[in-house]
Amino acid sequence: MSIIFNAVIPLFAIILAGFVAGRMNLLPNSAASSLNSFVYYFSLPALLFFSIATAPVNQLTNANFILANILLIIGFYLFTIIFFKIVYKKPLQELTMYGMMTTYGNTGFLGIPLIIAIFGQAAAIPVAISILIYDLVILIMVISSFEVLKQKSDGDFLQTIKVILKSVFLNPINGSLLIGFSIAFLQIPTPEPLLVFADTLGAAAGPTALFSLGLGLASQRKDLLSYAFRKSEMFVLLLFKLILLPLFAYFLVYLVFPVNNHVWAATIVILSSLPTGAMVNVFSERYQTLTREVPAFILLSTVLSLFSTSIILLWIL
């Protein structure tokens, strides 16, 4: 119980501070977008680069950890699609988005500060590896699905490949991870000023992201109250994301692909319990699919995760 009070509650208090700032109009709603841009393009890539570039190579090649992450994502993504196809008869576009909603968590803005607060700076390594796997696997599946559907209508196959490669590899988070991995594996000496720069800038990622999350919730709360979504589908999606996914993660890392390091195993379970990430809304808008449902789901999953994630932490720790 002490870990909840000493680590988790202070993090949620930062989210609450951002929410209060938004409700009291201490900061404009547009500030959340600016803060997120700072985290996404500067602070978070710096943190991930520093964590990976300075990590021992043997820590970056944990086979069971990598396999558990991949099977978790692909297995649950397909399970979601099959379930909603059979039960709700949804079209492929919506099925693709549902799969992303249940598997793509807020690993960057919420997962990194949460895991580091609980386990310390060393835990940034498994988090960084998980984020890279999440992005590579989920984004490839989602973008491929949407672009293949689009390609059927316009026939531009090469453009589809370009979009997939650009979205997966040329974003700042994955770019920083790939550079960090290259430096670690090739054992390239990194100048000390660069490491100090990355370490200092990366330290701002956690609190800034959490504060911005709260600020964003303050401006989005009316969307949840005003939108009459289909309650049965929303309930099932929340059950999948916040309960079944972490249970499946626990099954994989402790029984199927045992990860001997408790911190690394717990990292997968905790990351899987997080609410849906804002990146899902980006794809929803890009492909004009569930543009009203997705923001409501992100908001609701974030609010409910304050309770569900705390329960998962008490269980796993």
H helix runs in 123-204, sequence order: 124-134, 140-154, 157-169, 172-186, 192-202
pLDDT at 3: 59
Total domain count, the chain: 1
pLDDT at 85: 95
Comparing 81-85, 142-146, 158-162, the range with the smallest average pLDDT is: 158-162
Residue 108 pLDDT exceeds 60 = yes
Indicate the angle between helix axes 262-272 and 63-88, nearest 10 degrees: 20
Q: Which of 65-69, 142-146, 200-204 has the highest mean pLDDT?
A: 65-69
Distance of CA 268 to the CA centre of its chain: 12
Domain of 182, CATH number, reads 1.20.1530
Q: Tokens 């800034």 belong to which residue?
A: 208
Q: What is the pLDDT of residues 273-304, one digit of tens each?
A: 999 987 787 678 777 888 778 877 887 888 88
pLDDT band at 228 (very low <50, low <70, confident <90, very high): very low
pLDDT at 225: 53
Report the alpha-carbon distance of residue 51 to residue 117 in Å, rounded: 15
Q: What is the pLDDT of residues 54-97, one digit of tens each?
A: 878 777 888 999 999 999 999 999 999 999 999 999 999 999 99
| Cα Rg of the chain, angstroms | 19
| 291 to 32, 180, 262, 283, 297: CA distances (angstroms) | 20, 35, 39, 9, 11
Q: Could you tell me the residue range of the domain that residue 30 belongs to?
A: 2-316
Torsion of CA 307, 309, 310, 311, to 10 degrees: 90
Burial label for 133, CB within 10 Å (0-12, 13-18, 19+), is buried
Q: Tokens 């993090």 belong to which residue?
A: 11
Given a contact cutoff of 8 angstroms between Cβ atoms, the answer to whether 270 and 312 are in contact is yes
pLDDT at 118: 85
pLDDT band at 226 (very low <50, low <70, confident <90, very high): low
pLDDT at 269: 96
Determine the average pLDDT of the residues in 218-225: 63
For the chain, report the end-to-end CA distance as a whole number of angstroms.
9
Comparing 37-46, 125-134, 137-146, the range with the smallest average pLDDT is: 137-146
Residue 20 pLDDT exceeds 70 = yes
Given a contact cutoff of 8 angstroms between Cβ atoms, the answer to whether 301 and 276 are in contact is yes
pLDDT at 32: 81
pLDDT band at 176 (very low <50, low <70, confident <90, very high): confident
Angle at 269 between CA 311 and CA 111, to 5 degrees: 85
